[in-house]
Structure 1
Amino acid sequence: MAKNNSPHKTTARNHRQSRTKFTEDQLNILIKAFNQTPYPGDATKEKLALEINTEESRIQIWFQNRRARHQVQKRSKPEKHLEASQDQDHPEEKIHGRADRRCRTSYTSSQLHTLITAFTKNPYPGINSREQLAKEIGVPESRVQIWFQNRRSRFYVQKKGELDEPLEQK
């Protein structure tokens, strides 16, 4: 039996699914959900999948792509370019400016204690852990996710600073 060492083998791991084309109604539902929360929980994704009659994995990918696209739009400077690309893709959407941002979330000392304890145990909690924490401290899961992202970032910046200190003292 001959071995197939071709780099173009089709395996389950590198097989890409065909692109999903959402109808205008489906897009309106997804956009509305995205505007409410760009990081939906499993229950929300399941509900959306049933509502628009598609696979939950497609919903997950749509949200990932949407978040990435919004990050790129926030970073790109030319306002005219943003408006032009937006009109082509989804004319019903509006790009939100700084004034439309969510207010900064303030945490009580007991909430912070709970979050820091959880971070010490696991800096990369899964969705179930984040939802449990959110319920426990009374904030949305999306805020818990952002807190962990920010905390990991600060943690690694501090670690890097500690590693650089001995070099500076010499």
Structure 2
Amino acid sequence: MAQAVSPNNTTAANRRRSRTKFTEDQLKILINAFNQKPYPSYATKQRLALEINTEESRIQIWFQNRRARHRFQKRSEPEEHLESSQDEDHPEEKIQSRGDRRCRTSYTSSQLHTLIEAFMNNPYPGIDSRQQLAIEIGVPESRIQIWFQNRRSRCHVQRKREPDEALEQRQDQGKISEVRVQGIETTQNGTDLTSDSYSSGARTRW
């Protein structure tokens, strides 16, 4: 027997909005805007909607999804950093894979020089800069993005370690100064004792 379809279910299915598929040019504009400001204002979203010829509500949904994806990448960033930090400074160029994991990229010394120089100029490059670097050193743009993420993570770790190292150095300097002061006091006490002994001897002879 054929089951009757509920009108409510049919209405709900019709109300479900279709997924918007953006072209490559539209995505480039959206990603560039996201890199500049992940939380755009209503006026910015309207301008983007007019620029890529879509609805403002679709722009808002895209930014929400992009922020969620960005947060997920940040949570998984330490694991990727541990996997790639051991190989990113090796001069050999090799690709390794572990099961279903993404291939790990190792860069040549020339590629690393280009990446480090770009990082010193701008630690947060946009999609255009990353694509230009990808063409220049011959790797996918996604690898450039991961390398910059790992590099920023390494800088954050080094900055957190600097206060502890400075504190240890100050403590060591304090210990050295204390030892020097104790040595000076010991020398002065020895001199005083010698002077007292000399005075006592002189009085005895007289």
TM-score, normalised by the number of residues in structure 1: 0.50
CA distance in 1: counterparts of 2:117 and 2:111, whole angstroms = 10
CA distance in 1: counterparts of 2:59 and 2:73, whole angstroms = 21
Within 5 Å, which residues of 2 pair with 1:120-131? Answer: 120-131=120-131
1:168 is displaced (CA, Å) by 2.2
1:159 is displaced (CA, Å) by 2.0
- What are the ranges of 5 or more consecutive residues in structure 1 without an aligned counterpart? 1-20, 31-40, 75-97
CA distance in 1: counterparts of 2:139 and 2:74, whole angstroms = 27
Structure 2 partner of 1:161: 161
Tell me which amino acid in the other structure corresponds to 1:149.
Q
CA RMSD after TM alignment: 3.8
Which of 1 and 2 has greater Rg?
Answer: 2
1:45 aligns with 2:27: yes
CA distance in 2: counterparts of 1:46 and 1:121, whole angstroms = 22
1:106 is displaced (CA, Å) by 1.4
Structure 2 partner of 1:118: 118
TM-score, normalised by the number of residues in structure 2: 0.42
Percentage of pairs with the same residue = 60
Greater share of helix: 2
CA distance in 2: counterparts of 1:144 and 1:137, whole angstroms = 10
State whether residues 45 and 59 of structure 1, in contact with CA within 8 Å, keep that contact through their aligned partners in structure 2.
no
CA distance in 2: counterparts of 1:109 and 1:128, whole angstroms = 23
Q: Deviations over 1:11-70 (max 9, x none)?
A: xxxxxxxxxx642xx37x68xxxxxxxxxx9636269x9xxx845735742651562586
Structure 1 partner of 2:59: 57
1:155 is displaced (CA, Å) by 1.0
- What are the ranges of 5 or more consecutive residues in structure 2 without an aligned counterpart? 1-15, 30-48, 77-97, 172-206
Tell me which amino acid in the other structure corresponds to 2:145.
Q
State whether residues 130 and 141 of structure 1, in contact with CA within 8 Å, keep that contact through their aligned partners in structure 2.
yes
State whether residues 123 and 148 of structure 1, in contact with CA within 8 Å, keep that contact through their aligned partners in structure 2.
yes
CA distance in 1: counterparts of 2:61 and 2:74, whole angstroms = 20
Asked which structure has the greater RCO (Cα within 8 Å, sep 6+), the reply is 1
1:144 is displaced (CA, Å) by 0.7
Q: Deviations over 1:73-98 (max 9, x none)?
A: 98xxxxxxxxxxxxxxxxxxxxxxx8
Within 5 Å, which residues of 2 pair with 1:1-170? Answer: 22-23=17-18, 26=19, 43=25, 45=27, 54=54, 57=59, 60-61=62-63, 63-64=65-66, 67=69, 99-169=99-169, 170=171
